[in-house]
Structure 1
């Protein structure tokens, strides 16, 4: 996402990264980075993002961590980031959540903590008063090309996968688009160009 944003006109991204060794990659694509952790205090996170115009939250604890990290990163880290944005007067906030996070009947026992964390983080953002857009992709894949997508209100109408690059391009498309404020986009690979799918949905 950072590379796509750095190559697009009108964006000056800064990556919020956890490990010092990740800096080399972002340096190689000429994207500034801030080394900090979502497990830090809200005050520390607030200081780290001071001066920015928007926040894109796409962090996740990953499938190899325990439920404690899911709560710490996907929920508490998101809430702290939302509050830090409010403290700094940063009105624009794009959240990358998860499809089906509002559909408890879909959740397996093993994925239940993940979906609960994503759902509660989204609800906190909705309550925040920020100019939010929430993207809820299905399972992510690593194709280089974003391809086409579909956006639905009903996640059961989605396909099963979507390239990360498509989610990144969708973030770039909605970020300056005021018509996407206050919208939740359940999304997967599909048959429409990204710009068209967004325009028709919002």
Structure 2
């Protein structure tokens, strides 16, 4: 059984990923969250729920020990959280990390949408940029995901751009990002030491459709 730890398991993308993982018989989930009551409805035979904070190193290290994959779905001081995760993974010799950041961390969003995105979120990007730099400097088997603006649409429809390529599209569903994460868990070599932009095809425009 492949053991997967979800950090920030009450997050919105994680809430989409957990049901997809639960359909798999060979996955054991550990759900790590500061507010575990929000995820109690996911209790199952192959699910362990832990209360914890990524910034509490010993709690984090204990949760990571013995896992095959760490999937981080976090917010806030994400650069400091990334540093703590890498340290704990190094000490427990766990190598595979899937980490959600944000579009725009490489100034990779072109055109009018890039200017709009810059105006909307640039003030929040600094810790995401630093987190990516910390992860890329590690020796982990990481994949950084940079989703477009997120929707709650009940669909799985996405495409990927690599680091160094212009970002495509303006939006993507949380369920699509979740499905990609599950796919990566099942394909151990997929996306190793890469940073992927994730968007829904044919959503190019000046801004997301709901603005």
Please report the TM-score for the alignment, with normalisation by the length of structure 1.
Answer: 0.78
Relative CO higher for 1 or 2, CA cutoff 8 Å, sep ≥ 6?
2
SS in 2 for 1:13: strand
Match of 1:118 in 2: 128
1:47-74 deviation line (CA, Å, top 9, x unaligned): 22211111001112xxxxxxxxx32xx2
Q: How far did residue 30 of structure 1 move? A: 6.2
1:79 aligns with 2:95: no
Let me know the Cα RMSD of the aligned residues: 2.4
Q: Number of residues paired by the alignment?
A: 178
How far apart in 2 are the matches of 1:15 and 1:109?
A: 35
SS in 1 for 2:43: helix
Q: Is 2:64–2:94's contact at 8 Å kept on the other side of the alignment?
A: no
1:25 aligns with 2:36: no
Match of 1:182 in 2: 193
CA 1:130–1:77 in structure 2 vs 1: closer, same or farther (change >3 Å)? same
Query: Which residues in structure 2 correspond to 1:151-170 (within 5 Å)?
Result: 151-153=160-162, 156-170=166-180
How far apart in 2 are the matches of 1:113 and 1:184?
A: 21
Instruction: Select the structure that is richer in strand.
Output: 2
Instruction: Select the structure that is richer in helix.
Output: 1
1:59-109 deviation line (CA, Å, top 9, x unaligned): 12xxxxxxxxx32xx221122112111111101111111111111885646
How far apart in 2 are the matches of 1:179 and 1:21?
A: 33
CA 1:9–1:119 in structure 2 vs 1: closer, same or farther (change >3 Å)? farther
SS in 2 for 1:15: strand
1:111-153 deviation line (CA, Å, top 9, x unaligned): 334311111111111111011111111111112222x212123
Q: How far did residue 155 of structure 1 move? A: 6.5
Q: Which runs of 5+ in 2 are unaligned?
A: 1-16, 109-113, 203-211
Q: How far did residue 165 of structure 1 move? A: 0.6
CA 1:157–1:181 in structure 2 vs 1: closer, same or farther (change >3 Å)? closer
